[in-house]
Each structure stands twice: as structure tokens, then as C-alpha cells.
Chains A and B, each alone.
Chain A
Amino acid sequence: MVNEERLHHMIKMAIFDTDQGKECKPMTQYARKDYVSLRMLGSFVSGTIGFALILVTWGIYSMNQLMENLNAMDIQELLTSVLVKYIVFMIAYMAITYFVYNRRYTKGRREVKKYYGNLKKLNQLYEREDKLKMSENKDWE
């Protein structure tokens, strides 16, 4: 016979597995600090590539202007302004990353906790069932 109580927990767990399971898995393996810093490392790389691409786009766009003013241009000043923009961009980008993944970790951990709660209850249900079976067997003997 189908054990409805057990089914209830199992459905909940299955929904979690298919919906958020993959995303939440790293949250069970890492501490908050490690999880967020790992994501920030990834963001650093992708943010740098993104900024470089924006820079390339801007460079091509203002190529003519750059060529015309090449001699009169203060290269050092240009580099400094690019560097400042890069730093500002990265700080903003990293702050967003920190905020987003910190929140996701909080939410994800809550879900994982619920999942483990269900798992525990499920385990208890199985144990109880096993005990019942054992006692029935003894009666049989």
C-alpha cells in the first residue's frame, strides 16, 4: 500500500531536486564565505573580459578621433582614466555579485535545510516501518 505521508515528503524532495537541486548543491558543500568568494572570482574574470570588450568597442568607435589626436594626446592621462573607469566598474560589478550571491546563499541554505528536514522525516518513517516489519516477523515465528 502507498504510504501517503511518505509520498508527501518524497514529492517535496523531488520538486526541490528538479527545480533548484543543481543550483543549491554547491551551497551544501561550501561555507558562505567560500561560496561567495568563488562566485566573485568568476565575476572578476567575466567582468574583466566584459570591460575589455566594451573598451574595444569604444576604441573602434572613436578610432578616427583617436588617430587624429594621436600626437597631441597624453597617453598617461588616457590610461589613468581607463584604469579609474575599470576600477569603478569592477567595484560596482563585484558589489552586485556579492549582494546577489549572498542573498542566493541565504535562500538556498533555507531550501536545503527544508530538504534535509524532509529527508530526516522520511528516514524516520522508513525506520518505523522496518521496526513494524521486524516485530511482525517475530510474531510469525
Chain B
Amino acid sequence: MTTLLELKEKLIRFYGKNEIYVKPAIRFVLALFTFLMINNSIGYMKLVSKTPVAVILALVCSMLPANGLIAIAALVVLADLYALSIEVCLVGLLMFAIIYFIYFRFSPKSGINAVLTPVCFKLHIPYAVPVGSGLLSEAYSVVSVACGTVIYFFIHGVSENASALSDAAEETDSSVSKVVVALNQLIGNKEMYLVLGIFIITTLIVYVVRKLDIEHSWTVAWASGILFEAIGLTAGYILLGISDKIAGVIIGSVISGVIAMIIQFLFFNLDYSRTERLQFEDDDYYYYVKAVPKSLVTEKDKQIKRFNGKNEKERLNKKKFAEEMDIDENLLD
């Protein structure tokens, strides 16, 4: 545990020193993942779906704030949908517009979850997102997790039904029914409602438990969140008759548990053995404070050198002291 804590200290120090490089690097990796995921699922527009383009876009995003990534990713998605068919693009545009007008005006800061959720879905660990946002952000971040879930299911649905939605199928399908097929990926998708409901409740459970005044609240929070997700999704999938996804849910939940542990370790690690209770007052109030120290350790590489190693065993006695002080021994009686 001590080695881990030292590692954490080192990480914090490294981040503090190199923040100016680390932040853009993280943004670059996230953006690259996002664009590669979009290309992989719905890369219909050849112009923007090449890996070099994704790298260039990710580089641009690394220099912009987090919301820049959201805007560019939305544009890339719309461009791809436009290449597939204009009706699907319209539906996508409507979806993004509704999300923007109703939610993003409120809390532009937690918008990154809307990108993170689809990316984690693609990596088969979406269960970590509600737990992570419940641990790290405010309660309203639940909406951005919901937005991310909706966006993922839309993109996933479009890529599954690409043949029915593409321009090539124009003769057989009227444009209105194509819009209906695209909208059905959202409105008629029972799996989406299930995942959406479970994710919203999980985020709220984790958030509420984390805020409780109990010991080890973070551990209890993420554990109960992941347990709820695993049980809820398993039960839901059985009800919906999609039992082949259950193994994925369980494995994903285990990995998400590990991620939650890492989040907890990095952002919250309290040592309850040295808890202090304090009392003081000011003009207006009496304060009863419970102070829980953060368990930070000093690095091992501090070395202690003894310069008087040999003399350590010699003990000071009256005679020696008198000699040192140059006085008569009897004076010290």
C-alpha cells in the first residue's frame, strides 16, 4: 500500500509539474479514440473517415477546451450521416439540437460525459461512466451520461441498419419511412430505455451514497453502484430476451469495478485511523469539525546519513561534560 501511495504522490507531482503537457495529451488521446470510434462505426464519408484526418482532428481538439471536442465530434457524426442519407442526418441534427437547447446551456462543464459514454460503450466498459461521474461530479451530470447513452444507441442503431437507411435503398423506401427507421433507433429501442434507466439510477445511487456521512462512503458508493448495474442489466436483458449480452455485462462490471477502484485511489484515499474531532467558534457559529487526514506519505528516497555514527555509543557522563566545559567535576554535584 505504501508503494502505491508513493506512486500516487509521484503521479500528483508529475502532473503538477507537467500539467501544461499532460492535459492536452489526455485530450488528444480521448479525441483520437472518439474519432476512430466514429470512423469504425459510421465512417460513411470517406473524406473525414481516414485515420490521418482523425489524427489531425484530435490534434486540433487537444488545443481546444473539452467542449471543442464535443462540437467537432458532432460535426463529424453529422457529416458521416449526411453521406449515408440526408434524412438520417436530419434526425441526428434534431437529436443534437434538442440535447444542446435543453441541457448544454445549463451545464457546459460536464458535457465531456456525453463523449466519454459512447467511447466507453465501444470499449465494452460503459458501466464505469455512471459510477465515475457519480463519484467525481455533481448530481446533474446524470443528464450528460443519459445524453451520451442516447447518442451511442443512435449511432449503433444507424450502423446496424445502414443498408436500409442508405441512399441506395431510396427506390424501395420513401424518405419519410427512412426517418422513421432512424428515429426508431431512439424511440422504439427497448434496450436503450433499459440501459438509460439503469445508468441514471446508478449515477444517482453513487452520488447519494458518496455524500453520506458514513465511513468508507466512496467504496460503498461504487460497489453498490456496480452491483445495481450488474443485477439490473442482467434482469433487464433476461426480460427483454437478449441473454447473450449477460456475460458481457458481468465482465464489463468487473472491469468497471477495477476502474472505480483506481478512481477512488487517485481522488480519494483517506486514512480513518487518525481522524480528529475539533471544536471552535467564531462570532456567529460554533463549529464541530471531524477532520480526516489524507494519507500522503513521504517518498522512500529520503536518506538519513549519520555523521557521528562512531560516537553514538558513547554516553555523556559527569566527567566528560566537566572536561568539555573545562570546569571542576565537583561543581556539577
**Chain A interface residues toward B at CB < 8 A:** 42-43, 46-47, 49-50, 53-54, 56-57, 60-61, 63-64, 93, 97, 100
Residues of A within 8 A of B287 (CB): none
CA distance A46 to B102 in the complex (A): 7
Residues of B within 8 A of A61 (CB): 179-180, 183, 187
CA distance A11 to B101 in the complex (A): 36
Residues of A within 8 A of B288 (CB): none
B97: Cβ under 8 A from any A Cβ: yes
B176: Cβ under 8 A from any A Cβ: yes
Asked if A42 and B179 make an inter-chain contact with CB atoms under 8 angstroms apart, the answer reads no
The size bracket of the interface on B is 10 to 19
- What's the dominant secondary structure at chain A's contact region? helix
Residues of A within 8 A of B95 (CB): 57
CA distance A64 to B106 in the complex (A): 35
Residues of A within 8 A of B91 (CB): 57
0/1 string, B135-147, CB within 8 A of A gives 1: 0000010000000
**Chain B interface residues toward A at CB < 8 A:** 91, 94-95, 97-98, 101-102, 105-106, 140, 176-177, 179-180, 183, 187
Asked if B94 and A43 make an inter-chain contact with CB atoms under 8 angstroms apart, the answer reads no
Asked if B94 and A63 make an inter-chain contact with CB atoms under 8 angstroms apart, the answer reads no
What are 17 sample pairs from A and B whose C-beta atoms fall under 8 A apart?
Answer: A46-B101, A46-B102, A47-B102, A49-B101, A50-B101, A50-B102, A53-B101, A54-B98, A57-B91, A57-B94, A57-B98, A60-B179, A60-B180, A60-B183, A61-B179, A61-B180, A100-B140
Residues of B within 8 A of A93 (CB): 102
Least distance between B98 CB and chain A CB atoms (Å)? 5
CA distance A54 to B187 in the complex (A): 12
Known: A46-B105, A100-B140. A53 touches B98 (CB 8 A): yes
- What's the dominant secondary structure at chain B's contact region? helix
CA distance A64 to B180 in the complex (A): 10
Asked if B105 and A43 make an inter-chain contact with CB atoms under 8 angstroms apart, the answer reads yes
CA distance A116 to B250 in the complex (A): 52
CA distance A47 to B104 in the complex (A): 11
Asked if A50 and B140 make an inter-chain contact with CB atoms under 8 angstroms apart, the answer reads no
B188 (CB) vs chain A CBs: closest residue: A61
CA distance A100 to B101 in the complex (A): 16
Least distance between B200 CB and chain A CB atoms (Å)? 15
Known: A61-B180, A64-B176, A100-B106. A56 touches B94 (CB 8 A): yes
CA distance A57 to B91 in the complex (A): 8
Least distance between B175 CB and chain A CB atoms (Å)? 10
Chain B CB within 10 A, most for which of A42, A43, A50, A100: A50
B105 (CB) vs chain A CBs: closest residue: A46
CA distance A70 to B54 in the complex (A): 48
Residues of A within 8 A of B106 (CB): 97, 100
CA distance A53 to B179 in the complex (A): 15
A62 (CB) vs chain B CBs: closest residue: B180
CA distance A100 to B138 in the complex (A): 12
Least distance between B99 CB and chain A CB atoms (Å)? 9
